[in-house]
Amino acid sequence: MDLDAFRRLLTPHGRTALEAAAETVGDDPVAAVTRLRKTFDAGLTSAALTQATLRHRAREKFGADAALMYFTPGGLEQATRREVADHRARRIVPGSRVADVCCGIGGDLLALARAGCVVEAVDADPLTAAVAQANADALGFGDRVRVRTADAAAVDPAAFDVLFADPARRGARGRVFDPMSYSPAWPEVLRMVARARSACLKVAPGIPYEFIPAGAEAEWVSYRGDVKEAVIWSGALAGETERRATMLPSGTTLTPDPELGEAGSGPVGRYLYEPDGAAIRAHLVAEIAALVGGRLLDPHIAYITGDTPAETPWASRYEVQEVMPFSLKRLRAALRERGAGNVTIKKRGSAVDVERLRKDLRLSGDKPATVVLTRIGDRPFALLCSSHQAF
């Protein structure tokens, strides 16, 4: 879809085409095209059907708002889900003037506008900028949002209360992990931060610690157990802690305990605890070990074990039934003896290919089981556990 095709969707005739396309979602594609072509030309039919499909996919991230919004395929893939964006936006004082310098299709600027902020947004791609403005208008935030086509460097952060930046982390070859390859690149982002009164940077969860600016707060956010992002807060938005983990949708947060040292390690107990990924990224495993009264299986791997059951929202709990040095033959025999068929395989610190292992096990039972593959010292182990309990 090009910019001209998108603009046609915003006309009354285009909106009619969108309504017709929405009724065909899930139908045979050829039948859908044939149906719309009776009323609309080929270009508008294609644009409307594409948009209807994207809106259907977007419901998982944007809920009911997706039916009114506009998307590009890449923009939807990279967009922040609403619950995560809203969590971030709530930390910014209502009425703040925010510069969103990499706005994409507008998921974050919508959250900022919902939180009462006034947003000036830019995106280097004309189509993406047009989509972002259309989304603000469609959801009733047009009076708080202005989007234009420009590079991030064209924005003066000092003219705003808050700088918000979500550098692009995808290139021609896919996802980009090195912050130096972000767009804008990390040095340019930091130069903008240095000129801002306060800043909020959305980055990949795996950002190396050495890239986090001194004096900033880094927050890792998970949603229903899946780590979604890291957020770097600087200036007036930085809290009193250097790092934290937050779980959504509950909003539960965990910060370092200055009185704790590193977690100790010891033998496998009756229970195994798997910390939430945000806490692992935030280096807060020792805090979770203290919460459950446990110890690490291995000093370098984020699995915690304990002898008594404990409840915490920060970890899933498994009951350990058997511990064995890893051996395909022995593991297969143990699972077959238990009548296992529906097996969840988890791993950390293991080089085993999980999908290959699943095929090689050749199980035919009907009972559930959980297999945890890990390393203790320099030896690979398999732990057979009951189905996990998450809090």
pLDDT one-digit tens code per residue, 43-56: 999 999 999 999 99
pLDDT one-digit tens code per residue, 267-303: 999 999 999 999 999 999 999 999 999 999 999 999 9
Instruction: Tell me the percentage of the chain whose pLDDT exceeds 70.
Output: 98
**Exposure letters 55-68 (e unless 16+ CB within 10 A, then b):** bebbeebbeebbee
Contacts of 348 (CB under 8 A, 6+ apart): 301, 302, 303, 373, 374
Q: What is the mean pLDDT of residues 91-111?
A: 97
Q: What is the mean pLDDT of residues 75-79?
A: 93
Contacts of 347 (CB under 8 A, 6+ apart): 354, 372, 373, 374
Q: What is the mean pLDDT of residues 225-252?
A: 96
Sign of CA dihedral 135, 138, 139, 140: positive
pLDDT of residue 387: 66
d(CA 262, CA 269): 19
Under the banding of pLDDT at 50, 70 and 90, the label for residue 163 is: very high
Query: 374 near 297, Cβ under 8 Å?
Result: yes
Under the banding of pLDDT at 50, 70 and 90, the label for residue 390 is: low
Instruction: Tell me the percentage of the chain whose pLDDT exceeds 90.
Output: 94
DSSP state, residue 351: -
Q: Decide: helix, strand or coil at residue 16.
A: helix
| Assessment of whether the complete model's pTM goes beyond 0.85 | yes
Burial class (CB in 10 A: 0-12, 13-18, 19+), 155: buried
pLDDT one-digit tens code per residue, 168-211: 887 666 777 889 999 999 999 999 999 999 999 999 999 999 99
Neighbouring-strand partners of residue 315? 275
d(CA 250, CA 126): 37
Q: State the CB neighbour count (10 A cutoff) for residue 10.
A: 16
pLDDT of residue 391: 45
